Amino acid sequence: MSKLVPAHGGKGLIECLLTGAELTAELKKAEGLKKLDISARSKGDLIMMGIGGFSPLNGFMSKADWKSVCEKYTLADGTFWPVPVCLDTDDDSIKAGDEIALVNKGVIYATMKVTEKFEMTEADKKFECEKVYRGEGEESEGENFWKIAPKDHPGVQMVLAQGKFNLAGPVKVLSEGDYAVKYPGVYLRPSETRAMFEAKGWSTVSALQLRNPMHRSHEFLAKISIEVCDGCLIHSLIGNLKAGDIPAEVRVKCIQILIDNYFVADNVINAGYPLDMRYAGPREALLHATFRQNYGVSHMLIGRDHAGVGDFYGLFEAQQIFDRVPTNGPGKDLVTKPMKIDWTFYCHKCDGMASLRTCPHTKEDRVILSGTKLRKALSEGAEVVDHFGREEVLVELRKYYAGLTEKVEIKMQGAASGDVMK
Q: Residue 55: which CATH number?
A: 3.10.400.10
DSSP 33: S
Residues 229 and 100 in one domain: no
What DSSP assignment string belongs to 328-395? --TTTS--SEEEE---EEEETTTTEEEETTT--S-GGGEEE--HHHHHHHHHTTPPPPTTSS-HHHHH
Residues 129 and 241 in one domain: no
Residues 346 and 233 in one domain: yes
Domain final residue, candidates 132, 150, 173? 173
Residues 233 and 109 in one domain: no
Residues 6+ apart with CB under 8 A from 310: 137, 139, 148, 152, 153, 411, 413
Residue 154 burial class via C-beta count within 10 angstroms: exposed 0-12, middle 13-18, buried 19 and up: middle
Rounded distance between C-alpha atoms, residue 391 and residue 277, angstroms:
28
| Contact by Cβ (8 Å): 47, 104 | no
For 208, phi and psi rounded to 5 degrees? -110, 115
Cβ density class 92-104: b for 16+ within 10 Å, e for less: eebeeebebbbbb
For 149, phi and psi rounded to 5 degrees? -60, -45
Residues 216 and 146 in one domain: no
Catalytic residue among 41, 134, 189, 212: 212
Rounded distance between C-alpha atoms, residue 293 and residue 358, angstroms:
30
**282-295 and 190-200 helices, crossing angle to 10°:** 60
The answer to whether residue 151 is domain-embedded is yes
> Is 189 known to be catalytic?
no
Range of the domain at 390: 187-277+342-417
> Is 166 known to be catalytic?
no
Catalytic residue among 41, 134, 194, 211: 211
Residues 143 and 211 in one domain: no
Residues 239 and 107 in one domain: no
The answer to whether residue 313 is domain-embedded is no
Rounded distance between C-alpha atoms, residue 420 and residue 422, angstroms:
6
What is the residue-averaged pLDDT of the chain?
A: 94
Residues 166 and 200 in one domain: no
Q: What is the pLDDT of residues 45-103, one digit of tens each?
A: 999 999 999 999 999 999 999 999 999 999 999 999 999 999 999 999 999 999 999 99
Domains held by the chain: number: 2
| Contact by Cβ (8 Å): 27, 108 | yes
Give the pLDDT score at 375: 83
Domain final residue, candidates 173, 203, 220? 173
The answer to whether residue 323 is domain-embedded is no
The answer to whether residue 375 is domain-embedded is yes
Torsion of CA 34, 36, 37, 39, to 10 degrees: -160
User: Which spans in 10-166 are helix H?
Assistant: 20-31, 40-51, 63-72, 122-128, 144-152, 154-160
In tens digits, the chain (422 residues) has pLDDT values of 899 999 999 999 999 999 999 999 999 999 999 999 999 999 999 999 999 999 999 999 999 999 999 999 999 999 999 999 999 999 999 999 999 999 999 999 999 999 999 999 999 999 999 999 999 999 999 999 999 999 999 999 999 999 999 999 999 999 999 999 999 999 999 999 999 999 999 999 999 998 887 889 999 999 999 999 999 999 999 988 777 778 899 999 999 999 999 999 999 999 999 999 899 999 999 999 999 999 999 999 999 888 888 899 999 999 999 999 999 999 999 999 999 999 999 999 999 999 999 999 999 999 988 877 888 888 888 888 899 999 999 999 999 998 887 765 656 555 555 565 55
Residues 347 and 382 in one domain: yes
Rounded distance between C-alpha atoms, residue 255 and residue 236, angstroms:
9
Domain final residue, candidates 118, 146, 173? 173
Residues 127 and 270 in one domain: no
Residues 101 and 161 in one domain: yes
The answer to whether residue 2 is domain-embedded is no
SS3 85: coil
Specify the length of the chain in residues.
Answer: 422
The answer to whether residue 161 is domain-embedded is yes
The answer to whether residue 294 is domain-embedded is no
Residues 364 and 396 in one domain: yes
